Amino acid sequence: MDSFLAALWVGPAGRVVGVDMTPEMLERSRELAARLGLTNIEFREGFIEEPPIEDGWADVVISNGVFNLCPDKLGVYRQVHRVLRPGGRMTVADICVETPVPEEAMRDIDLWTG
Ligand SMILES: C[S@@+](CC[C@H](N)C(=O)[O-])C[C@H]1O[C@@H](n2cnc3c(N)ncnc32)[C@H](O)[C@@H]1O
């Protein structure tokens, strides 16, 4: 969904690349892009630990619930640095915790959703 919003924000002159590791998500995304008539967006198969994006290509890197799924955070951030142009930006909307979450909080869905 974030890729589609980004495609609207950058407009016809911009470009958006969505990366996902699952063929199912890629297929759904490509179908939706075609139905919406968005021509400035493409989806590539790959892991964000090694994203199929050229060095210095991106103005902005967005993660909404993906970086937090990757055990090697430092490796992911190195890749973000690699694909961003100098002065580019990163926006992360993931839930990250630095200390163990109590079991009671883990079970309270209201604490995990907006
Ligand atoms: C919680 S969803 C994110 C949804 C996304 N923000 C959106 O708007 O559709 C997590 C997605 O990340 C993908 N994913 C998880 N780990 C990944 C990885 N290491 N590399 C690439 N994709 C990954 C999953 O296949 C799944 O589609």
* High-pLDDT (> 70) share of the chain, %: 99
Contact 18/7 with Cβ under 8 angstroms?
Answer: no
Q: Ligand 1: which residue has its CA nearest to atom 8?
A: 1
The separation between the first and the last C-alpha atoms of the chain, rounded to the nearest angstrom, is: 16
Average pLDDT over residues 14-39: 97
Express each pLDDT in 67-76 by its tens digit: 989 999 999 9
Distance 66 CA to ligand 1 centre (A): 5
Q: What are phi and psi of 12, to 5 degrees?
A: -65, -25
pLDDT score at 114: 62
Out of 19, 20, 78, mutate this one to test ligand 1's pocket (max ligand atoms within 8 Å of CB): namely: 20
Atom of ligand 1 nearest to the CA of 46: 21
pTM here?
0.87
CA of 21 to the centre of ligand 1 (A): 7
Position 4: which residue type? F
What domains lie within the chain, and their CATH numbers? 2-111 (3.40.50.150)
Q: For the residues of the chain, what is the DSSP string, one character each?
A: -HHHHHHHHH-TTS-EEEEES-HHHHHHHHHHHHHHT--SEEEEE--TTS-S--TT-EEEEEESSSGGG-S-HHHHHHHHHHHEEEEEEEEE-----SSPPPHHHHT-GGGT--
Pocket of ligand 1 (CB under 6 A): 1-2, 19-22, 25, 47-49, 64-66, 69-70
